[in-house]
Amino acid sequence: MGARGDGRRAPAVAVCHHGHENDVVVTENLFEFFAARGIAHRFLNLAKPTDRGALHRRLAEKAPTVLLGFNHQIDQGQFGNLPILTIAARHGAKVLQWMFDHPAERWADFNHSDASTSRFIFHSPFSQGYFADYCCAGAQSATAGSIGPNRRSRSHENGTAAFAARPIACLIPLTLARHGKMPSDTEAEIGSLPPRWARAVLTAIERARCDLDRRLDCHLSEACAEQGLALERGDFHRCFRLVLQSVHDFRRRYIFRIASRFPVSIQSDRSAGPLLTSGRADFRPGVGAIETLERMPRCRAVVSVSPVNDSIHDRTCNALNAGCLPILEDNRAHRRHFVNGENALLFRYDDDSLAECLSRACGSVSAIVPLAERARVLRDQPPFRFGAFDNILALGDIRPAGCVSSQSGS
């Protein structure tokens, strides 16, 4: 991008989505960040014709605008018969699309996006690197860390007595079914692959299940190389999606099986119910994001996992925000900020550490209060507070209101 110095106003950010409560929570976090930075911002509901019309008029007037959308919602949005991306490109507006999940799970939902129409946001460098290698080479992108903590989970109580009075020993809010697919669907798709592909996929799944350090696609690359199998980029992407889905399923099933032996509160979809056989755990299916955030200050501990080994999930950020003891995967991202037995409890999938973590969390309250207090101190520090949201501003050339933009559009 070249310097213009033409006195254009700094662009306003229009956060665009359909109003799902998960997206509402992220929008609240972004607006808190934008307000602190002096960034002009607004929400446009893609489900409302009046809001789509307002966006169309703003673009037609060439008002400096950056569109920020979640997953594929902008990609699939339309003005009449034209994609939003086409209109935005015609009027020189930048489009940022933030994938909340690994791109192996999301890229198939995108129909109109490429390196010329969009810039992309990911939680972590592993996801960003995979996207460049297998999805959309040459696209501009950035990492934003996590979604961050939301105001709804904020706890304002301090002290051992208040912590001990929390009625929920440990909260485990994890979905099992992902993007409408059950484990049986993934198994069937693996079974439909050519035999050599299926063998490579199954080998990669076995090796990736307990790996909490590397990019998980490395396991598929290595399995293919061992078999002398050279997959085209699209075929590799198809196979790795199955690896990732299987690993996620294995890890969540493992957590539910262990957790069912303890007096914890599990939130998931109904497909997790059959895994909870001991009857000790409280099971609540279908709990939404907002209710989960509001429950967290009533919990002493929260279990969180990450979809990618180098990312921190917003569950972790909200656990800190609520003053809870975080129980986390012993992955490379968590080890960078947490010490087992000091400000968190860390577990793996190839030993008894998860059972030990849950036993401590459901045991003596006085024994875990110091850990929770040391964890709470982190909640307003990077990378937990606002993640790396400044990277979003840099990606979109977004400046505070009143500033003059000195760079051209894409």
Q: Say yes or no: 120 and 266 in one domain.
A: no
Q: Which tens digit of pLDDT belongs to each residue from 370-390?
A: 999 999 999 999 899 998 999
Across 239-267, average pLDDT = 96
Are 139 and 163 found together in one domain? no
pLDDT at 4: 38
Token pair, residue 328, equals 């986390």
Q: What is the pLDDT of residue 9?
A: 64
Banded model confidence at residue 5, pLDDT cuts 50, 70, 90: very low
Residue that wins the pLDDT comparison between 292 and 65: 292
- Looking at the fold, whether 127 and 201 belong to one and the same domain comes out as no
For residues 223 and 326, membership in a common domain is answered with yes
* Residues 47 and 113 reside in one and the same domain: yes
The pLDDT of residue 167 is 97
The whole-angstrom separation of Cα 397 and Cα 140 is 12
User: What's the rounded mean pLDDT across residues 294-302?
Assistant: 98
The predicted model gives 241-264 an average pLDDT of: 96
Query: In this structure, are 254 and 352 located in the same domain?
Result: yes
Note the pLDDT tens digit of each residue in 134-190: 999 999 999 999 999 999 999 998 889 999 999 999 999 999 987 777 888 899 999
Mean pLDDT for the chain? 92
User: Residue 10's pLDDT band (boundaries 50, 70, 90)?
Assistant: low
Q: Which two tokens stand for residue 316?
A: 């972790």
For residue 93, the domain's CATH number is 3.40.50.2300
Residue 405 has pLDDT above 60, yes or no: no
pLDDT band at residue 408 under the 50/70/90 scheme: very low
For residue 7, the SS3 value is coil
Buried b (16+ CB within 10 A) or exposed e, 289-320: bbebbebbbebbbbbbbbbbbbbbbbbbbbbb
- Nearest Cα to 251, choosing from 288, 303, 199? 303
203 shares a domain with 187 = yes
Each residue's pLDDT tens digit, 190-202:
999 999 999 999 9
Does the pLDDT value for residue 316 go beyond 60? yes
Our count of domains for the chain comes to 2
Same-domain check for residues 322 and 203: yes
Judge whether residue 26 has pLDDT over 60. Answer: yes
What's the mean pLDDT in 14-31?
96
The percent of residues above 70 in pLDDT, for the chain, comes to 95
Q: Which two tokens stand for residue 288?
A: 């939404």
Residue 254 belongs to what domain range?
155-380
Looking at residue 410, its pLDDT comes to: 29
Q: Compute the average pLDDT of residues 60-85.
A: 90
Domain-embedded: residue 136: yes
3 located within any domain? no
pLDDT band at 403 (very low <50, low <70, confident <90, very high): low
The pLDDT of 244-257, averaged and rounded, is 96
The pLDDT of 273-285, averaged and rounded, is: 89
Which DSSP letter does residue 3 get?
Answer: B
- Scanning 98-147, the segments in alpha helix (DSSP H) are 103-106, 125-134
* pLDDT score for 75: 97
Based on the domain organization, do 168 and 77 belong to the same domain?
A: no
Tokens of 159: 């002290």
At 8, is the pLDDT very low, low, confident or very high (cuts 50, 70, 90)? Answer: low
Half-sphere CA count of 196, side-chain side, radius 13 A: 10
Please compute the mean of the pLDDT values over residues 125-139 and round it to a whole number. Answer: 96
123 and 244 share one domain:
no
Q: What is the pTM of this model?
A: 0.92
Are both 220 and 363 inside the same structural domain?
Answer: yes
Judge whether residue 250 has pLDDT over 80: yes
Average of per-residue pLDDT across 336-341: 97
CA angle 145, 128, 71 (to 5 degrees): 75
Residue 300, domain CATH:
3.40.50.2000
Which among 318, 379, 36 has a CA at the least distance from the CA of 152?
Answer: 318
Q: Decide if pLDDT at 401 tops 80.
A: no
402 found inside a domain: no
Which position has the higher pLDDT, 2 or 188? 188
pLDDT band (50, 70, 90) for residue 12 = confident
Question: What are the pLDDT digits (tens) for 342-366?
Answer: 999 999 999 999 999 999 999 999 9
